[in-house]
Structure 1
Amino acid sequence: MNEDKKTEIKVGVTIFIALIIFGLVFGWAKNYSFSSNNFPLTVDFNTVAGLENGDLVSVNGVRKGSVKSITSNANAARVEIVFDEDPNLKEDATFSIMMLDLMGGKKVEISRGASNSDLDYSKIHLGNFSGDISTVMATLNSVETDLISVIKDLKKSLDFVSINFTNDDFSSNVNQSLNNVKSLTANLNELILVNKNNISETIKNANQLTSTTNELILENKEQIKYLISTVNSTMNNADILIKKIDLLAGETIDGKNNIGKLLYDENLFIQLKESLEQINKLTNTINKQLENGGLEVKADVDLF
């Protein structure tokens, strides 16, 4: 009887220990924590794409916490995250839902950020869904028609190229072009060989001309400088002369000099006109007297 009880006790203890181990393993797998030092954080996503309670939460790829709860509202899905320790997130941290494996598992990936200010854990933050295999397949389905059209066009292009490259006329033309290029290259080589000495002489003469030009410039350096200086001086003098001519023209137009007065002074013009008329009358009178017998001079002279 005692042996049976011992056996039952052993079995019971074994089952109890197994249950404890199972609970610990299950809690570890679901990211349950018995610690009271939790750091909660709330993030809104436009979609959670199959994210579940207890799923992994990592910061820069390092496991830091788990998903505590998921609720939905009219515009977003709200995910409450619990960290086992302070993740030291910054104000510019980003939140994304990513694939955990090919079987469709999801996780929340957080990029810590580089700001000097710490993240405010009391606020609700915004995250995004980075996509998974299903979204990739949906994208491929959306471009399926275009992809088929591109493949058909590519097949037509390949068929066209194949037909033209296997055509005897095309092959003959290509061979003829290659032969022409080969012949041109041979002729060019022959031309260079025949005129090798002339080419060398031309290059030599060009070098000599360059050297002579350099020597000429060096020998006449001072004269060239003087010539340039003289040209600059002449240009400056011409500029001064033009300014003076402009000034004279302005004074003439404004009537500030004698030429301007002669050209633009109406009173002077009237006086000149009257003088000319008087001279004209005097000339006519003298001519008439000369024609009538002589010049008559009437003078009334009082002497003392």
Structure 2
Amino acid sequence: MDKQQLIDCHERIKPFIHNTPVLTSHLMDEMAGAQLFFKCENFQRMGAFKMRGAANAIMQLTEGQKRNGVVTHSSGNFAQALSLAAQSLGVKAHIVMPKNAPQVKKDAVRGYGGIIVECEPTLQAREHESKQIEEKYGATFIHPSNDDAVILGQGTAGKELLELHPDLDYVITPVGGGGLIAGTALAVAYFGKNCKTIGGEPFEVDDAYRSLLSGTIEGNTTINTTADGLKTQLGDRNFPIIQKHVERIIRVTEEEIVSAMRLIWERLKIVCEPSSAVALAAILREKEAFKNQKLGVIISGGNVDLDHLPFQKNF
């Protein structure tokens, strides 16, 4: 995936996405000992960066493929992103969701026109149901993170950030399935000036950290993290990009994630989800490494269950 492909992707999806704002805070800069520039994808359509990749993936399909619709399996943001992107482009979207997915997320998917098929909460069940839909309707499967068109789409957030602040030293993103950090790393490589990409990841799901060390895609034995958007693992399309272009991954504790999330809510006055806070948590954990640097921070999304905030007291 070269520089021109990323430029073409951005032009293609512009009518269907928001160029989200970049926020700053003097207090946050003082706390971090660095200059922070927050790219607020929580203000993106459907509330997360994944709208970018979903729109690009659908727009790359043939007319025949579009007529037959698309399918994905997701319990979270990509389910909503593909539904909204498909609705915007006049395409039918089938969404395989686990039965135990939060009702608020199912409601959002249906609100965007997605056709939900429920399944057991296992990867095998998700893949089986998706395959059934592919065969029944001729729908095209679009993976939430391990798809070239999706990766390019996600990279446009970093491209916009660097167009506004071309002199950044680092861009830090959360790491889940790998689509965002891979796309961001491409944007940094093509549009940055001596800029590097770093990932933030919970200790509880540190498969990407271990994958970079071992050179092979690792899995997780537990997914006990409040950062629910980061429970997935890397794929064969995004991992080589991460290996080539990502400098390192910083792991953070659950307490650091919650603290960083609360800080964003209190100081930036914006709603972000726990997964988004992982990037800031990584910076605060290793402040000395980033001292006096200019840091781009991708706030990946703002879709939260307001009845179950991780820093909420029980009254």
TM-score by length of 1: 0.16
More helix by share: 1
